[in-house]
Chain A
């Protein structure tokens, strides 16, 4: 297992198009998180899964955003009708149950979205 994998690494899309990102967490990790990072800011929490259940969504996640984690394995984040304000780095992270405090998450390298 080589860590958290995110695809694609870069995505350029026209305003109004839909995009989907994929995250493959570390296989034994139950928890999966999505964050968004814009220039000059730290990562901002978007949503969290424990196994296949989506347990919390940030108010940052508008109706145009949807995330899934079928069968508690990989996750997808879809943005519909993209806007220029959606341009950001989208980070996925995973952790085992109870491991966050001592060892933190393991982040993927992110997907950089540019909406033109």
Chain B
């Protein structure tokens, strides 16, 4: 049961253009969504998160958009740089019945982003 899906295995963009990475989820009980970046031979690195009560969060070149009705979120990188080339994972946190969470994350399969100079 893949509750978080990244349907595009790879994305290729030109330096300076926008990169848009997409993620879909099925569980409406997810309360936070996070994006991680992973370089080869390293662990994932946290990029940006968004609460389920918001529809946008921005941090420098990175913006995450959340469409709850469509159960869809996206990560926009503007402008894209060659150093952004990595695997990007979408992840979701499930709130427990008490409204808190211990932080267990469900990850998507990842999208390989390649930014060409």
Contacts and interface: CB of A to CB of B under 8 A. Distances in A.
Interface of A: 4, 31, 33, 40-45, 48, 50, 55-56, 91, 93, 95, 100-110
Interface size class of B (residues with CB under 8 A): 20 to 34
B43 A104 contact: no
Contacts of A43: 44, 89, 105, 107
A101 B78 CA distance: 23
Contact of B102 (A50, A106, A108, A110): A50
B91 A42 contact: yes
A42 B43 contact: no
Contacts of A109: 41-43
Given A41-B109, A42-B108, A42-B109, A100 B103 contact: yes
A75 to B, nearest CB: 15
A103 B59 CA distance: 12
10 contacts: A4-B43, A33-B104, A40-B110, A42-B6, A43-B89, A44-B107, A48-B104, A56-B104, A101-B101, A104-B49
B44 A107 contact: yes
